[in-house]
Amino acid sequence: MFVFLSLDKNCLILCLKGTVGCLGSRLEFFTTSFINLCIYVSIDCQRMGVFVLETLDSLINCGLTEKEAELYLCVLGSKKGGMSAREICNVLDFSRQMTYRLLGELIQKGFIIQTLERPRKYRAINPLDVLDSLINVKRQQITQLEKIKPNLEKLLSCIENYEIENPEFRLIHHRQNIYSAMADMVLRARKRVDLLTDENGLYLCSLFGLTDIFNQISENDVYVRLLTKITPKNSGIVERINPKIRVKHGFHPDQNILIVDEKRSLTFIKIDDVRKMKSKADSAFFTTSNTFIAYQGKIFNYFWENALDAKTRLAEVKLGEEYQIQPLIGERNLIKKMAEFLKDSKDETLAFFSVKYLSTYALRFLNFITEENIPGEIIYLLLPPNYYETELMERILDLKINIRQIDTPNKWYLPEDHPLPRMVVYDANTAVVMLEDLPDSPALDAGFWTTHKKYVSKLREKFLEVWKHSKPLT
């Protein structure tokens, strides 16, 4: 706080410690020989303390700290030549380190300037000029905020329903505990249930009464989808399932996944092949994580869209038609399977790769043709629209492969009901099919190979139809 000490009745000394005193009725100005501080005022000395405190508060409101405000007032009241750092230290009793730090802050904020002479002198900028500068800065900031506001409103509208996730994670051991948890999840379902399971898993669902619960909730307008492998051993279970339940014969990994209302999921992480109600070897993972459930839902949908309707599969089972289906996860497994069948290929081989797969799978495909000395005349390669890569095209032409490129627009390329999948068809009997929309990671690429005659035949027909309406490349 400021203190006024009297040398005589018309002269006061302004210091920065103690309390405020009043020793005269009027104060025009004051100076001292040992303190470089002059303030011109024309107010009652009795109001001087209030004036100083209000000045300090005003400076603090302008963005200064209390120490910065004291230093600024000290320099502001100095003689016209300014003050050196040592003089400021002596007046305010600040350490040298603190003084230089405060001076640096005030220079940066525009309250003080530094001269080039030696020793350096520091002068205070007119407070009104400083205030005008601060007002301009604030106006610019307000203008910038007004420009940002529409974008922020748009962003907030997108995430207004977003909630911070605090998911539950839980491991469940032993078969009975797992199927009891599954039954509880399904009974609490309100809108939707998706179950992906293998042949053995479907049998256990029947054994533990889960299929009966599915039949029950489907009558209460819960949408149930069941994706499994239908074989002669479990076809009877499928036939007893409520017709309201959607059932498909799936081309999928040997996984067991249950998703309820897109809010809860249970995934088997260890399964014992024994067909008994008691098994301590089984383990499962339960979670309410939205991120994990969304990813599991994508996996389910990918395989669901490429699955066979249950009625068609049951008809095949009754006729004794058998074929092989093998899920393929990861770029390495997909390429290995492509190479395996390419070696044995004798008749024409049809291949189509999307842009995403041309840089990896298509190049490997061409390498196999070269390594195995397969005649290019039996290979029919279809390229996606608007694609041209010099190195790839030169290799294709060198191998004398039959090649065409899809025109755009081409009504045969991506009709709404049956889009052309990424595939390789061998000898009209075997196919490797790749799923396009999985995450961009080679380890997560997915697909399957199959010897299903009707499915392969449809792929072949689709390919040849698109081929017929595509342009030859030479």
Q: Tell me which DSSP letter residue 358 carries.
A: I
Range picked from 120-124, 345-349, 417-421 for highest mean pLDDT: 120-124
Tokens of 428: 């009209």
Contacts (Cβ under 8 Å, ≥6 apart) of 125: 110, 111, 112, 113
Range with the lowest mean pLDDT among 17-26, 135-144, 241-250?
A: 17-26
CA distance 459 to 420: 8
Q: Is the pLDDT of residue 412 over 60?
A: no
CB-based contact 119:84 (threshold 8 Å)? yes
Range picked from 180-194, 275-289, 403-417 for highest mean pLDDT: 180-194
Sheet hosting strand 471-472, strand order edge to edge: 325-329, 446-450, 430-435, 422-426, 349-352, 379-383, 402-405, 471-472
3-class SS string, 395-461: HHHHCCCEEEECCCCCCCCCCCCCCCCEEEEECCCEEEEEECCCCCCHHHCEEEEECCHHHHHHHHH
- Cα-based angle 25, 29, 33 (whole degrees, multiple of 5): 120
- Kindly report whether the global pTM for this prediction surpasses the value 0.85: no
Q: How many CB atoms sit inside 10 A of residue 349's CB?
A: 22
Burial class (CB in 10 A: 0-12, 13-18, 19+), 344: exposed
At how many degrees (to 10) do helices 66-76 and 48-61 cross? 120
Give the pLDDT score at 50.
52
Looking only at the bridges linking them, the beta strands covering 223-228 and 192-196 are parallel
pLDDT tens-digit profile of 299-356?
888 788 878 888 888 888 887 766 777 777 777 777 778 777 777 766 788 888 777 6
Q: Any idea how long the chain is?
A: 474
CA distance 11 to 5: 9
